[in-house]
Amino acid sequence: MELFSIVSGSSGNCICVGNDRNHVMIDAGISGKRIEEGMNAFDYTTADMDGILVTHEHSDHIAGLGVVARKYGIPIYTTRGTADAIINSSGVGKIDPGLFHIIEGGTPFEIGELTICPMNISHDAAEPVAFLVSDEKSKVGVVTDLGMYDDNMISSLRGLDAILLEANHDINMLQVGSYPYSLKQRIIGDRGHLSNERCGQLLCEILHDDMKHILLGHLSHENNYPELAFETVRLEVTMGDNPYRGNDFPIEVARRDQVSSRITV
């Protein structure tokens, strides 16, 4: 399988996962033009996608969904709550209701040779999910927009070959930054976002000898730096209650303005 990020950050998200036969796009939070350019960088086109998996209805995850859906007619897989929120949103325009395929957290489904498992997450959206994608050989996760995690989530994330995991903000930068108090509380709350430290702590719970790649995603433009996220997560792994050190695994930061490397597992 392969995993790559076209963009990932608080201003837009679009990830691709697939194998030799099938590919899916996870979120379409940037313009259709930028999505196509990102796909082309990996020798794909948007039309090659067998489905669009939508995590939730916030604009940084659906800004380009309407354009892509209308132009290519790609099936959209998301929860009932998210689908209703998208249909009632004025920002994406009209989408053919027949393109929506309703899924449920915890209930796997298949797209070609890919098995998709939506995972309920804690975030301030209608019915948000993260996605685990697997085939007969490999399993990867795309897990962002987490206010918190629990034992069930930790159990679900164990055994992955690769993961894109949220490292949204540095707590100190957020606390001294210009955001209003209410927004700061939302971000650090149980329905907000994972900090760099919490990202590293979650990794400590799910790392194993065969983890092949870690991609840090959904960084805040205002309250984080790629280098800071990278070093903080590595330090948490090194200092955490686990047998690993931060440099034992390939770790990369997904950027908001450029594609990632092609991660193959």
The domain that contains 57 carries what CATH number? 3.60.15.10
Q: How confident is the model at residue 129 (pLDDT cuts 50, 70, 90)?
A: very high
The edge-to-edge listing of strands for the beta sheet with 100-103 is 100-103, 76-79, 51-53, 23-26, 12-18, 2-9, 263-264
Number of domains in the chain: 1
| Whether residue 186 has pLDDT greater than 90 | yes
Please list the helix, strand and coil fractions of the chain in percent, rounded to the nearest 5, in that order.
30, 25, 40
**How far apart, in whole angstroms, are the C-alpha atoms of residue 29 and residue 65?**
7
Q: What is the pTM of this model?
A: 0.97
What pLDDT is stored for residue 6 in this prediction?
Answer: 98
What pLDDT is stored for residue 203 in this prediction?
Answer: 98
| Contacting residues for 112 by C-beta, under 8 A, at least 6 apart | 21, 22, 50
Q: How confident is the model at residue 4 (pLDDT cuts 50, 70, 90)?
A: very high
Residue 2 is inside which H or E element, if any? strand 2-9
| CA-wise closest residue to 128 among 54, 206, 202 | 54
| CA-wise closest residue to 47 among 71, 31, 30, 27 | 71
Enclosing domain of residue 149: 2-264
Tens of pLDDT, residues 69-88? 999 999 999 999 999 999 99
Tens of pLDDT, residues 193-212? 999 999 999 999 999 999 99
How many Cα atoms are found within 13 Å in the side-chain-facing hemisphere of 15? 33
| CA-wise closest residue to 149 among 130, 122, 176 | 122
Contact criterion met (CB below 8 Å) for 197 and 175: no
Tens of pLDDT, residues 11-38? 999 999 999 999 999 999 999 999 999 9
In this prediction, residues 98-115 reach a mean pLDDT of: 98
What pLDDT is stored for residue 195 in this prediction?
Answer: 98
Q: How far is CA 101 from the centre of its chain?
A: 19
